[in-house]
Structure 1
């Protein structure tokens, strides 16, 4: 090594004398960071100059012309890649991706840099293509089931009769979790109120979960976390076709089909799905525990790559749904005056994404979406009828130089709600947000990486917001990784996103909502911190172990909550939004363990969260009551075995220390599920799945609905309503 060092210095001196430079390059494995021997490092253009790495993974290129700004690296068993040349680093470190691992390599799109998951300074959990393929047959109608398997996520049912669900992360209300589709915030305001999680997994490539405050990336809302639902793209010039037929014991039928193919420079994906679910009264109390749903989804997407430097994607998404719940005899027509909840909705979305690389180190992106959402709802025989039109436009420039990835951009968000004549007191509004952001990913060395972001948003109604964020990734030693992140966020008031009532018996149905008093109600602001310690290693025995221990803290100032208003109607007191006289905080830990050995896979997850109020109550003393419907303990585990023809899996979940209003604690419960899958060949799969094997229902612990059948009262939903669900699915892939 000493001789090599002196030879390098000699060559460097000679090159300098002729106005050229010698460069020292170290080539490593991207996952293990071990040196790669006999890798070839060379220029891609004339004059062709190169060298081969030694036993330490070191290569020295003598007399490298100053005009060369990139080098190509290749090695047996690795993908050939091109790397930009840093003008400041003494030793260039190039990391190659193994060809064997390339198929399993996960690229995260939600961070805008399309970076590999192991390179990111922020913690991202990804449910990949294999998970989506499995879930598309196990629970083909929606993604809520697979998201609920993650310990830090709690799926909250927000209505006893219409089946609507929402996501809690880190113990916070659902409105603090931002949901994206292909990196676009499509589900804001009125359009995010119902059915967002009923996206069939057959249409998806992966789901990305970013924990903690990341509002700097996409604007206000991502206070508890962000979920990015990523669609599939065509990968082969051979056609891919999958069809799935499913039937469940809850009288649900699903028929889904997916097609994709590349045609040279163009490509197409096409998804179509239909769900027909009958209304079912599981508990025999007369009310539907599972609503009637008739839903049709249609999602074509077109891809065009005119050159290696340019790509354009254009998609269209259509959803039409009829949903009906309430007193079953009213739905059947025998008691027409009894309670019914009827919803008809249509969602149209056109989205696009265009990227042009002006050089290997620079990429310009323009993306956006235009959507309309129309919903008619009849609740307690009162009609609400509204339409929301939304626009999202974004332009950004990603520049790579040295050890930096710098992205600068701006975006425009428009949300326009228009009410048709109905029985509500809602009013029209138009919200516009113009924002600018900058984010720098800086690889300081082999062991330290930083990600710093800053966003400035101007909202036409609620003012200006400045959001800084900083994330650090440390690699103290293989196989350890430590990530620390601190960020800020905000959430503007919106009548349609407060899916958890602020107090007991406060109603959130549209006929009881009063318009927002923008003169008195202010936006919420937050600060959050996350820390993750990860260990990942594959042993010589073949055992693969992954352990992740997370800690998090979030503080929300003056949260916007729903409260009783002084005015009332024949349904009772109206509901208004106010800034609460208290703040909120959430602190907790999340433990994730994954073991793989031969045909076996084991997942263990435990989440402990303390989420409560922090401030003065209306009566004066300090208010430290727990946030309602936020379990303090959640344990999840999955054990799976698979061979050439069979796959068996068992899942368990424990939900404990859950409180309602006024610190009223409810019962703890366990949830068990099992699935068996048979692969006849590479084309056919038959799946038998059973959710909630021991038939746990909230009705086992208390009466869910009371009062007259014309105007019933429903308890807060804190446990499953439907009980055991068994389904059988047949999947065919061409």
Structure 2
């Protein structure tokens, strides 16, 4: 008996010597807030388990050495499984676990563009978010770019700026595209020369969400965000590995093949990879001899690495490679030039971008963030025999400190923006090489003045090496009398420095079709920077009625004033045609309202939006303005409607519509109103889905209201583009999704 007891004690001591305690910390993958009440258990039988405390910390004792599989669960979050091998290299280290919110927790949407990672409903400025569910649906409906889903928002108008290249630009609050700033993961990658072509050629499959800030947002990102800001947020790896592939084909013979893979290998390492291919021939839809859909050959690769070496440090690394060729013009010349059939416009681009974001958390209420990007952009254009080429090296580097001090949430930082352009050696254009550097300091304070009032004040000071200093104050107020109602008001300033590429699309006359690099003169020394003041007011109501119906009603008002707008003026003399950028003799004033209603009842979603905008050119300093009263290509009225119905794991149906009315082009000429309708149906079969989509169902084309291309075949003139060109588009997609 004594020997048996000795053997038992020896085995127990041996087991204890081979076992190890494991220290863990669990937090929200988006807000990084600690999560309490999380269940952590082993998969072995019998299971061993524990729960996290108020600080999100837990300890599992007496785990055996060797491989161990843990299961982490919490209501409202996706279950997380992972393996680790004991003993750890550092026995006292804390294993960090991040749980991703499930779709049931979408009301906790976090906006990254505001730097404070605040919840959507707590922000003093108005932000609209298109989330992961919308991106997932759009990835098969219109897989090539995000233009379609952005155009569904009533305050955004997508304008096609080139017939030959198919390029599209974003207009917000009735203002020119240059007044909307576009970010990728909080970084300005599309400025100057690199932002002039194909900004919206970003597939939705590569995006987690799109954040739309309405109105001036210049404090954190600089003066360019005058009409609004759009932040395209990349996806991150979740708890389970994911592979999604989409193959799409349209009646325009466009083929898209996109693939996305994500995996969190362990608590310290994660990876996402997106790869996309687009191939489309030039197509003459309206049979006028000129292409309405350009030839496109595009390849995109975007890998991202997520490293968490410790509970306090996080490093995200990314690289983007895009190569693209676009050609349009005379369809006969595109196949084989002959006789007078020589008109071809071709663009070849290549983009390399590397980005990094580093977070160091001193405490739960204090985080330092350093981020930066370096981008190389190469573009060659052949425009009816004229050759233009240029290269841009651009960079953005920022250091920001976020801290919570009582009722205040402070963001303070500095950034450096670089833009270095060199044109090709054989280029005969008059455009000059240039280098612009901007140093900025910013400070933002979110002050919770009480349970119902939050004040947000912002200050920014920029120094541009060519155009001087800019001081940008901003003030926003959020009033929440209860959980259903909120009132937001904001006033802010902005600026836009002269840039020969950003301002080329802002034409001042009907000569827009002749605005090309061939005739563009260098910037004049006496050009003034544009200045702006914007005011926004938003009243919102959101509530759940009964058990199933969610209602969201939003009414917004906005006003924007811009002085010294820079426009492109082109001479009409063919023998000595020149395009000059100069400050106009008028100011820009945009005033409008934006209303939308969003309903959700079980699996039915309904959206109805109406935008009314008066964007006018008004005489400045006593000058007489006799024409061009309305800003061209800015519809005064736009209705947007979306209706969707979802049968889980079986069917999804959707209808979208928009009415564009009271739109003017050059010389204050009003054009016809038109409806745009689209519909889609998806059948889900396990891991596979079949999606049939139809855009522009009733085949609206600008040609029905007059010729689009006029003049001689070998040197045509393209009329202002204000309506769809491609006509009806039908596409069929096959989607494979594995978790």
TM-score interval, normalised by the smaller of the two chains: 0.7 to 0.9
Partner of 2:258: 256
Distance in 1 separating the partners of 2:571 and 2:397: 37
SS in 1 for 2:578: strand
Which of the numbers 689, 696, 699 marks the counterpart of 1:695? 699
Q: How far has the Cα of 1:529 moved from its partner?
A: 0.4
1:468 aligns with 2:473: yes
Which of the numbers 154, 159, 174 marks the counterpart of 1:156? 159
Partner of 1:229: 232
Q: How far has the Cα of 1:105 moved from its partner?
A: 2.2
Distance in 2 separating the partners of 1:709 and 1:522: 39
SS in 2 for 1:666: coil
Q: How far has the Cα of 1:500 moved from its partner?
A: 3.2
SS in 2 for 1:501: coil
* Counterparts in 2 of 1:246 and 1:78: CA distance versus 1, 3 Å: closer
- Alpha carbons 2:628, 2:668 under 8 Å: kept: no
1:544 aligns with 2:550: yes
Distance in 1 separating the partners of 2:55 and 2:701: 65
Partner of 1:119: 122
Distance in 1 separating the partners of 2:620 and 2:473: 29
Partner of 1:292: 295
1:268 aligns with 2:271: yes
1:676 aligns with 2:678: no
Which of the numbers 492, 501, 511 marks the counterpart of 2:497? 492
Partner of 1:459: 464
Q: How far has the Cα of 1:381 moved from its partner?
A: 1.1
* Counterparts in 2 of 1:302 and 1:453: CA distance versus 1, 3 Å: same
Which of the numbers 246, 249, 261 marks the counterpart of 2:248? 246
- Alpha carbons 2:618, 2:625 under 8 Å: kept: no
Distance in 2 separating the partners of 1:657 and 1:43: 57
SS in 1 for 2:308: strand
> What are the superposed Cα offsets for residues 108-133 of structure 1, whole Å, 9 maximum, x if unpaired?
00011111111111110000000000
Q: How far has the Cα of 1:540 moved from its partner?
A: 1.2
Runs of 4 or more consecutive aligned structure 1 residues displaced over 4 Å after TM superposition: 40-46, 76-79, 97-101, 616-619, 621-624
Distance in 1 separating the partners of 2:414 and 2:546: 48
TM-score normalised by structure 1 residue count: 0.85
Mapping of residues 8-47 of structure 1, within 5 Å: none
Distance in 2 separating the partners of 1:375 and 1:298: 18
Which of the numbers 569, 577, 591 marks the counterpart of 1:573? 577
Greater CA drift, 100-109 or 124-133: 100-109
SS in 1 for 2:220: helix
Partner of 1:218: 221
Aligned length: 646
SS in 2 for 1:306: coil
Q: How far has the Cα of 1:215 moved from its partner?
A: 1.1
Q: How far has the Cα of 1:473 moved from its partner?
A: 0.4
- Alpha carbons 1:695, 1:723 under 8 Å: kept: yes
* Counterparts in 2 of 1:445 and 1:100: CA distance versus 1, 3 Å: farther
Partner of 1:88: none
Which of the numbers 663, 669, 672 marks the counterpart of 2:668? 663
> What are the superposed Cα offsets for residues 527-558 of structure 1, whole Å, 9 maximum, x if unpaired?
00001100000011421100000000000001
Distance in 2 separating the partners of 1:662 and 1:576: 19
1:516 aligns with 2:532: no
Q: How far has the Cα of 1:100 moved from its partner?
A: 8.4
Partner of 1:527: 533
- Alpha carbons 2:418, 2:437 under 8 Å: kept: yes
- Alpha carbons 2:585, 2:623 under 8 Å: kept: no
- Alpha carbons 2:174, 2:615 under 8 Å: kept: yes
Q: How far has the Cα of 1:335 moved from its partner?
A: 2.6
Compute the RMSD of aligned alpha carbons: 2.2
Distance in 1 separating the partners of 2:285 and 2:724: 11
Which of the numbers 424, 427, 438 marks the counterpart of 2:443? 438
* Counterparts in 2 of 1:543 and 1:459: CA distance versus 1, 3 Å: same
Distance in 2 separating the partners of 1:45 and 1:597: 35
Q: How far has the Cα of 1:309 moved from its partner?
A: 1.2
- Alpha carbons 1:372, 1:389 under 8 Å: kept: yes
Distance in 2 separating the partners of 1:137 and 1:456: 43
Partner of 2:342: 338
Distance in 2 separating the partners of 1:464 and 1:495: 20
SS in 2 for 1:699: helix
- Alpha carbons 2:586, 2:625 under 8 Å: kept: no
Distance in 2 separating the partners of 1:270 and 1:710: 44
1:195 aligns with 2:198: yes
Name structure 2 gaps, 5 residues minimum: 1-50, 58-73, 78-99
Greater CA drift, 131-140 or 441-450: 441-450
- Alpha carbons 2:180, 2:226 under 8 Å: kept: yes
Mapping of residues 548-567 of structure 1, within 5 Å: 548-564=554-570
Distance in 2 separating the partners of 1:43 and 1:193: 50
